Amino acid sequence: MEKLVKQLRNRLALHGRLVVMAALAMGAGACKDFFEEPITDSRVELLSPGADAQTSVYAVTFLWEPLDGALQYRLQLASPSFEDAVLFHADTTLEQNRFSISLEPGRYQWRVKARNGSSETPYTTRTLTIHEAALSTQTVLQAAPPDNFLTSQSRVTLEWQGIFSASSYRVQVDTNGFADESQLVLEQVVEGESFAYTMPAEAEYEWRVRAENDTAQSRWSTVRRFIHDRTPPDAPALAAPANNAQVRSPATLQWHASEDAVSYRLYVYKSDSTLYSSQFPLRQTGTSYTFDAGTRGERVLWRVRATDRAGNESGYSGWRNFTIIN
């Protein structure tokens, strides 16, 4: 009998050690997920422009190697140098590993450091010289809206970066790939670096811009697209619970997906048709919601509407109500 008790005690002790070891392993994993690796001793590797680069291109893209453990990068750009800075042209925080800007001829210094939530690297610095060149060799950098911009608004502001020696900019808008410049949707010469355009109809538009002066013109920018969509999605159809149902709390409210919808707004009301709480209407990306409020015998009403990528909102679904029985 004593031998059996001793064996049982040994097994329990072994089980306890295994539980402790598992808990420590889980804790170590959690700590690893929580604590960031410091990047203080790392450096950002700059890729382009190269060291002491010289160029006659005004539109410059600064590029660096992504750094493991970094969440953001801080880029600074000054002329003629950081020590004797006359002008800071950029001081920005980025998540991507590139930055584009249009610069005038001159001497510049640029530097980048990486950051995460708890540490940062030192700056890595390079020098760049831009020489004056003909406007015809330059390209305008577009600023906004981003390519494939989708909107339900009829007015869009087209923006770009200015170019040295330009006195005006020619903006073209089309829906046919600029195949026939005599049949463009719009061609406009402006002196500034933006143009507010009102779209005449729902369509996919393309735009480009070039710089001009009295004797020359730049190359066309790249072509960007923007889409005008003001057609709302269909109103969602409610699925469950059935109208006038008796349900136990928590109640799962379900509805059918609407074509082109990317999110839904759920409205839940008290029996007097006032919103149930300040959290409603509630935005949902899925097609169900667990309602865990309410008291026994309470009658609750609800309905849903859908929203598409352009921000168009559907009409409301039909009304449904249910009564909580627990």
Residue 6: pLDDT over 50: no
Q: Are 45 and 62 in contact (CB under 8 A)?
A: no
Q: Letter for the amino acid at 297?
A: G
The sign one gets for the Cα dihedral 22, 25, 27, 29 is negative
Handedness of CA 8, 9, 14, 16 (dihedral sign): positive
Q: In the predicted model, what is the mean pLDDT of residues 202-222?
A: 98
Alpha helices in the chain (DSSP H): 2-34
For domain 136-228, is the CATH number 3.40.50.300?
no
The answer to whether residues 314 and 258 touch, using CB atoms and an 8 Å cutoff, is yes
Q: Is the pLDDT of residue 31 over 70?
A: no
Residues β-bridged to residue 75: 92, 112
Q: What is the mean pLDDT of residues 116-141?
A: 97
DSSP label at residue 117:
S
Q: What is the dihedral of CA 306, 307, 313, 316, to 10 degrees?
A: 10
Quick one: fold of 46-133? Immunoglobulin-like (2.60.40)
Identify the CA nearest to 225 among candidates 188, 177, 187, 162: 177
- Residue 10 confidence (pLDDT) above 70: no
Residue 1 pLDDT > 50, yes or no?
no
pLDDT tens-digit readout, 48-61: 999 999 999 999 99
Q: How far apart are the first and last CA of the chain?
A: 53
Q: What is the mean pLDDT of the chain?
A: 92
Architecture of the domain delimited by 238-324? Sandwich (2.60)
Whether the Cβ atoms of residue 11 and residue 5 lie closer than 8 Å to each other: no
Q: In this model, does residue 32 exceed pLDDT 60?
A: no
Residue 227 tokens, joined: 């889409």
Tokens representing 148 are 């494939």
Task: Classify the C-alpha dihedral 176-178-182-188 as positive or negative.
Answer: positive
Q: Hey, do 136-228 and 238-324 end up sharing a CATH topology, with the first three levels equal?
A: yes
In the numeric block, which tokens belong to residue 2? 């004593």
Q: So where are the chain's domains?
A: 46-133, 136-228, 238-324
